[in-house]
Amino acid sequence: LGSLVSRTEDVQQLMLPMMILIIIASFIAFSGISMPEATYVTVASYIPFFAPLVMFLRVGLLDIPLWEPLLSIAIMLLTIGLL
């Protein structure tokens, strides 16, 4: 975020949207503890910003095939490359 602004003080304004995304990912992961096979948890595990929290939850609670975490990692790497 520091590369997007010219002054250090302006970084705090850019942190709010990032914090909101982290909070949303945490809520999805917390609600997924009781229902890890829910559709919204499965979909969120492939969305790049939510994947590190939600896919970790699914791998820990469910017996999922190996291709699902690998696909999630590939989507995240592709997104990083595009950005």
What pLDDT digit, counting tens, does each position of 12-69 carry?
777 888 889 899 999 999 999 999 899 999 999 999 989 999 999 999 999 999 999 9
Alpha carbon distance 30, 36 (integer Å): 10
By three-state DSSP, how is residue 46 classified?
coil
Phi-psi region of 9 (alpha: psi -120 to 50; beta: other; left: phi over 0): alpha
pLDDT of residue 3: 67
Neighbours of 11 (CB within 10 A): 13
- Beta-carbon contacts of 83 under 8 Å, excluding residues fewer than 6 positions away, are none
Between CA 69 and CA 51 the distance in angstroms is 9
